[in-house]
Structure formats: structure tokens, C-alpha cells
A and B are shown apart, each in its own frame.
Chain A
Amino acid sequence: MSTYIVALDREVLPEGLVRGRMDTAELVIWRGASGSVHVWEDRCPHRSSRLSAGRNMGAYLEDPYHGWRFAEDGTVIHVPAEGGKGHPEISAHVLASAVTGGFVWASAGVLETGDFAGPPLRPLHFGVSANRVAAELDPTKTRITPWGAAACMVYGIDPDAMAAHRMLTALRRRLEAAG
């Protein structure tokens, strides 16, 4: 199980919900009132509605469909249809995650963040597979997160952020045009 970057730390805002992806899993990434960042599968365990369409209330994340509330550890603390009863035995699907080097990392298995830090580039979505992009880029300066089989998100570090961004944008144009 690989470990991937799923967001920039500074883009996970206290009142926001960030959508991400990792292989085939859709993710919701959020910062709780404690300051910790959480990476969960973007599916409510109740009816599979997208948690990222709900709201970040600080102490908990609220599902948009039936208003279930999930504590920062993922457990259900409030079900409106049951008079606000909690269900500690039910949990969102929580992924192992950590914040280092300005990036949020997550893994469906064992987390191995490695050594990767520097001025972050603008993350860039490519409409081609992670493998095709990886073949073109310096692995010491970039990390690539697969978004399904045919797309990926490229995270990079480079002191010359604008030049690196222009290079990545040109590469994307070239790879996508090649189909």
C-alpha cells in the first residue's frame, strides 16, 4: 500500500472540506477544531452520500443527507433521527495520515511519508495516468498521486515555483495531446 500526498497543509482550511483522490478512493480532507488534519473516504457509512458535500463544524463533520455527525476520530456522535444518539461502534472510513513538509500524506495501509519538503508548487491535475507522468519527472522534486487509472495529481517542490509551474503545464499539454 503506497503513501500519497493528498493535499497541501495550508490549503486545508478550518471551516472547509477538501476533496481528494488516491488510486480509486475518493477522499474528504478536513481540519478539526483540534488543529489536526483528517483524511477519510468521502462516503457516509449510512447511505454513502458524499461527506465533502456536508460541513466542517470544527468539533465534528456533518453529513449533508441525514445530518449524522462524525467526531474528529471518525466515530458517529449524533444521529438526528434517533434523538441525537451516538453510535461509537460506527465510524467513517479513516485513513492513516500525517502532515510533514507542508503536505498532507495518506495511506490505505502503513504510512511512510519519507523525506520531501520545500516550497510547494501549485498542485496540478493531469488527464493522463500517473505512470506516464512519472516517466517525465524528477522523483526528488515531485510526488504523483493517481486519481483513478487515467488521471493524477502532481505535487512538487521547487525554489523557482513559477518556472516549474510553467514547465509542468507545458508537459501536461504535451502528454494530453498525445492521448
Chain B
Amino acid sequence: MIRLYDYALSGNCFKVRLLLSWLDLEYETRLVDFYPGFEHRSDTFRKINPLGQLPVIEIDGQLIRDAQAILIYLATTRDPLGQWCPMDRIGPIYQWLAFADSITGTISAARLHDAMFFRLDVDKARAGGVQLLRILDDHLWFAEWAGQDWIIAGEHPTIADIACFPYVALAEEGGIDLAPYAAIQRWTDRFMRLPGFAPMAGMMPLPLPKEART
């Protein structure tokens, strides 16, 4: 049985839950009280992850930490169709997974400051987040121009979309206005309308009833 060390309000945990659900994998959850309990910094949890970070997954007799590493592991060992991590586009996928990690260091940090009262330089975090949103919005705008819906060219979304999505969608919880990024908004709309998408707190996908579809 797969075991996920999980926290409901973590975007990094959410991305792993999303892929587990899209791959139709059964798993059990160990809830870690990230806030206000700071259980991820406890001696007990540091035996599971010395970095004191979530998520961690226990799978195939090993512990894997880091959301992006977990996405790669699941997509390469549990997706027989290879849709979520197409190996012929592995370079761009790694590039955007690293980008997602930068999103955690900026946009997610601003959200931790505003929503969970973490002490950090929030102006710096927001400014860094804006630079990343501009790069992502640029990329998605020109991708749309070329007829592409997702971060990585192809019919099917990939773990690059899953990795970048949560903290971008939650950016306004960190005081970053998403209005300037129209291509990002169209991408998050498409992403939230994927079959089987289930939101986490702070996301409002408001599915369109059938009668509204054209």
C-alpha cells in the first residue's frame, strides 16, 4: 500500500493527491499537522524527512520526498500509457518541474506569510513570483498561438502542468494579483475542467453544467 504524508492545505501535497487520483491508485494518508502544529519540524517527522518538508511518499519499500520527485516516480512507474511523463519530452518536463520548485520558493512563500503567518520577506517573495508568472504566461500565450493547451506540447497534460498548477492557482492567497496573466487564467480554467479534477480549499472551479456547454 502506498502511504502519503499529507497536509490538506499544502499545494505540494495536493499535486501528489491529484496524480494519485488520476492514476487511479489506492493509498493511505498520514496527516501531518503543518499549521498550526508545525509537526513537520518535529524530531519524529524529521526521521521521515530530514528537511522537515511535505509531502513524503512511502512506496515500493522506500521513502521518497519532494513533490516533483514523487510526481516523476509515480508517472514513470504507475502510468502504463506514459501520458503524464512522456520520455520523448523529458528535457522540457524537468525544466518545468524545476520551475515549479521556484514557484514554491516565491508564490507559495508569500501565501505562507499571508495565510499562515510565516516570517519571511514577503515583498521579495511576491516580486519573485511575478517574474515567474510573467515567464509562464508568456510561455502559455505562445503555446496557445501554436495550438497547444498545455505547458508541454502534446494532446495530454503532463506532470509539468500538475507541478506548476497549485500555487499559481492559489497566488491571490499570497497577495499576488492574477488579473495581468490572461493566458495563465485560460490554462487554469482548462486544467480545472479536466475530467476527475477535484479542487483543494481556495480553488473555485465552478464546473459548467451541461446545458451551458456549446
Binding site for B on A (CB under 8 A): 7, 11, 13-16, 18-21, 26, 33, 53-59, 64, 122-123, 125, 127, 147, 151, 153
Provide a sorted-by-A list of 14 A–B residue pairs whose CB atoms are within 8 angstroms.
A13-B186, A15-B189, A15-B213, A15-B214, A16-B185, A20-B179, A26-B179, A54-B206, A55-B212, A57-B209, A58-B212, A58-B214, A123-B182, A147-B179
Given contacts A7-B182, A57-B209, A123-B182, are A64 and B204 in contact (CB under 8 A)?
yes
The CA-CA distance from A7 to B179 in the complex, in Å, is 12
Q: Contact between B179 and A21 (Cβ–Cβ < 8 Å)?
A: yes
Q: Contact between B186 and A11 (Cβ–Cβ < 8 Å)?
A: yes
User: Nearest-CB distance from B62 to chain A (Å)?
Assistant: 42
Task: List 14 other contacts, CB 8 Å, given A15-B189, A16-B185, A18-B182.
Answer: A7-B182, A11-B186, A13-B186, A14-B214, A15-B208, A15-B214, A16-B189, A19-B185, A33-B214, A54-B206, A55-B206, A57-B209, A125-B134, A147-B180
Question: B181: which A residues are within 8 A, CB to CB?
Answer: 125
Question: B206: which A residues are within 8 A, CB to CB?
Answer: 54-55, 64
In chain B, positions 174-214 with a C-beta closer than 8 Å to chain A are 178-182, 185-186, 189, 204, 206, 208-209, 212-214
User: Nearest-CB distance from B175 to chain A (Å)?
Assistant: 15
1/0 per residue B106-149: CB within 8 Å of A?
00000000000000000000000010001000100110000000
In chain B, positions 145-179 with a C-beta closer than 8 Å to chain A are 178-179
Given contacts A19-B179, A122-B142, are A57 and B208 in contact (CB under 8 A)?
yes
Q: Contact between A15 and B142 (Cβ–Cβ < 8 Å)?
A: no
The CA-CA distance from A14 to B209 in the complex, in Å, is 14
Binding site for A on B (CB under 8 A): 130, 134, 138, 141-142, 178-182, 185-186, 189, 204, 206, 208-209, 212-214
The CA-CA distance from A26 to B179 in the complex, in Å, is 9
The CA-CA distance from A11 to B137 in the complex, in Å, is 13
- In the A-B complex, list the 3 residue pairs whose CB atoms are closest, starting with the nearest: A125-B180, A19-B179, A57-B212
User: Nearest-CB distance from B145 to chain A (Å)?
Assistant: 8
Q: Contact between A16 and B204 (Cβ–Cβ < 8 Å)?
A: no
